Structure 1
């Protein structure tokens, strides 16, 4: 039995989550944001023209077929058709071809931020390891219902810095209650202070959008959200969990990364973001 999450499965789960998050919104929200997606075999590309950060313009799911200049060019053509001026390619190191340097030079791709890809099986995540911060007694974790979707979305998007567009918050709120999504929040009293999502993709569930407001950090909120989402993934019949978070540079400390490592996740690989600018 394989004990490590297959690379292709983890990469597909991630891009399917991002695509459904943006392009699965209601038609009026998609139209306002200029959100669209296109599939190129196993590869998915999503673009959100009105996203000021350009963060959601991304392509992933590479690995099931050769990564070629022709494939990358087709995705770039999609970005141009969507009217975006920046798009990113998320490709696991093992899927990069030998001529990748030549491809990036020819097509003008530049290396951007690096992310750590993590994964584990469900049972490992549900086994509480020693040293994990317990949830503060004044906080409680639970699922998010549709009547709290806007508050939940505001907490997530604000914490990540997506504050320039109300429509972006509408996009996030619209995923609450969709079939393949599970949303959770940590509350202090009636106020949401931390959030996290789970996207179900066959055998694999993607940990998506975990965020805690500054005043609630260090009180076990993200650990509790990881556990709640792992339980939901097992209830849905998933075998694997996958997540990604920013890589640590010299002297940096990514709390989310270390929370997940303590929670049973395995560091699978570090992946560069390859950025195209129109």
Structure 2
């Protein structure tokens, strides 16, 4: 759902990962009202847990204080926002023997992609069905490109490319634990960016976790911001437990 100041994705699962609110800075004179209205809505929907993502800015202090005052807890600086001029993308990198990166073009491959991404992100198998239902109807939109990395024929990594507004965004870069440290994360990130560049896109963006940050810097990405995450649990639910 999307309002003027807030966007959210809510499911029926009691998990921080599957219920997300995203906001930039709220108007200072309405921040408390907007936060409380949103939380009241989630209580009525019996949402038990959610994560609230905030883009860090110099004037973010009031927003952070407002979230804390409404019972949310600061978890961490969730990711670093990064960007690159695709003309400067580093491409002279060692190849990975036995690695093949293929597009996901049907629903069977999408289920496989979700399973590998779930392993890479350490998401429980019980969430794979929900993830599939959330994306199956839109994932084959022409703005999306979805990629699966195969190492000697075995699925080991994932990534996605989203094209909009002249910008190429990279999302859901993952690698299963036993295949890490071989350059697969770099390769599964680079392939979509090269495709975007061939299509005429000039700017690439992504949000880097601490694990992927070094890879993206190596490719030429530069920092331009941060996202912080706050956690909320439904106090009404907690009182009934």
Short-chain TM bin:
0.7 to 0.9
Task: Tell me which of 150, 158, 161 is aligned to 2:122.
Answer: 161
Could you tell me whether the CA contact under 8 Å between 2:15 and 2:48 is conserved in 1?
Answer: no
Determine the structure 1 residue equivalent to 2:238: none
Residues 35-67 of structure 1, C-alpha deviation per residue, up to 9 Å, x if partnerless?
A: xxx2111531111222x532131122414x625
Q: Does 1:266 align with 2:234?
A: no
How far apart, in 2, do the equivalents of 1:120 and 1:246 lie? 14
Pairwise CA RMSD: 2.6
Larger mean Cα displacement after TM superposition, 96-105 or 76-85: 96-105
Corresponding residue SS for 1:135 = coil
Task: Tell me which of 62, 84, 88 is aligned to 2:24.
Answer: 62
Gaps of 5+ in 2: 235-241
Could you tell me whether the CA contact under 8 Å between 1:135 and 1:219 is conserved in 2?
Answer: no
Could you tell me whether the CA contact under 8 Å between 1:42 and 1:62 is conserved in 2?
Answer: yes
Q: 1:240 to 1:167 in 2, by over 3 A?
A: same
Larger mean Cα displacement after TM superposition, 225-234 or 169-178: 169-178
How far apart, in 1, do the equivalents of 2:103 and 2:11 lie? 28
Matches within 5 A, 1:131-150: 132=93, 134-146=94-106, 147-150=108-111
Matches within 5 A, 1:191-210: 191-210=154-173
CA shift, 1:172, in A, is: 6.5
How far apart, in 1, do the equivalents of 2:225 and 2:231 lie? 19
Determine the structure 1 residue equivalent to 2:239: none
How far apart, in 2, do the equivalents of 1:115 and 1:102 lie? 17
The TM-score with structure 2 as length reference comes to 0.82
Determine the structure 2 residue equivalent to 1:151: 112
CA shift, 1:102, in A, is: 4.2
Report the number of matched residues: 229
Residues 240-262 of structure 1, C-alpha deviation per residue, up to 9 Å, x if partnerless?
A: 32222334xxxxxx2x1110111
Q: Does 1:189 align with 2:169?
A: no
CA shift, 1:232, in A, is: 3.1
The TM-score with structure 1 as length reference comes to 0.72
Task: Tell me which of 227, 231, 236 is aligned to 1:275.
Answer: 231
